[in-house]
Structure 1
Amino acid sequence: MSPESQPNAGARQPDDDRLPVAGRLDDDHFPAYTMGRAAELVGVTPAFLRALDGTGLITPTRSDGGHRRYSRHQLKLAARVCELVDQGTPADAACRIVDLEERLERVERDCEELRRQGGRAVRQHQ
């Protein structure tokens, strides 16, 4: 997967450190989970999560001490890969499928936003 095709999964925004943690817990992209907790929630081993990190599908944020931190969004991706692997899909193919599903979802959201903007523009023109 090329870097430009990947969502900014795990990248911290410059202001992330200034916001109180409690205010970010509803954010699906906030890296709130340690590797152990993330593995427990998804039902996989830490080695499985480390392997996903190597694919580029999921890039966890690193704490100041270098420990991986995962967001809910990343856990959803890991769970989806796990589901596909459990169904017999090879891990590399499962990662590719999940990446393509993510891309499709983003494109559909972008199209919907463009439709809304187009509708507003037409109404304003009339």
Structure 2
Amino acid sequence: MTSTGHLDDEHYPAYTMGRAAEMIGATPAFLRTLDEARLITPQRSGGGHRRYSRHQLRLAARVRSLLDEGIALEAAGRIVTLEDELADARRIIAGYEGE
């Protein structure tokens, strides 16, 4: 893959914790909490620093939104997981329908 080949990969871990937190309007502590709760598991750089993908940031932003609505972390995590699985299933179905 070329150096620009990752630009379209939503799962490529391109963002540092600080940048990721800034992008979703959260704190690094919030992202650590999601990692500790095993809701979002970032990849680690060679030096052990967390790296987040755009996909993970969308999930984290959705969890944050649910928490802001008063939903507990565990419930928010389950909702986001189910929403993500449903979106995956819809993409698969759309692929079959397009064949």
TM-score (norm 1): 0.73
Give the structure 2 partner of residue 103 of structure 1. 85
The alpha carbon displacement at 1:46 in A equals 0.8
Shift of 1:76: 0.6
The answer to whether the 8 A contact 1:25-1:32 is kept is no
Give the aligned partner of residue 27 of structure 1.
9
**Are 1:49 and 2:31 counterparts?**
yes
- The correspondence for 1:76, drawn from 36, 40, 58, is 58
Larger helix percent: 1
Aligned residues: 99
CA RMSD of aligned residues (A): 1.3
- How far apart are residue 83 of structure 1 and its match? 0.5
Structure 2 residues without counterparts, runs of 5 or longer: none
TM-score between both structures, scaled by the size of structure 2:
0.91
1:67 aligned to which of 23, 46, 49:
49
Once superposed, which parts of structure 1, at least 4 consecutive aligned residues long, lie more than 3 Å away? none
Inter-CA distance 26–111: structure 2 relative to 1 (3 Å threshold): closer
Corresponding position: 1:114 with 2:96: yes
**What per-residue deviation string (whole Å, max 9, x for no partner) do you get for residues 47-101 of structure 1?**
1101111232211110000100001111111000001100111111111100000
Amino acid corresponding to residue 83 of structure 2 in structure 1: E
What SS does structure 1 have at the residue aligned with 2:90?
helix
For 2:32, give the aligned amino acid: R
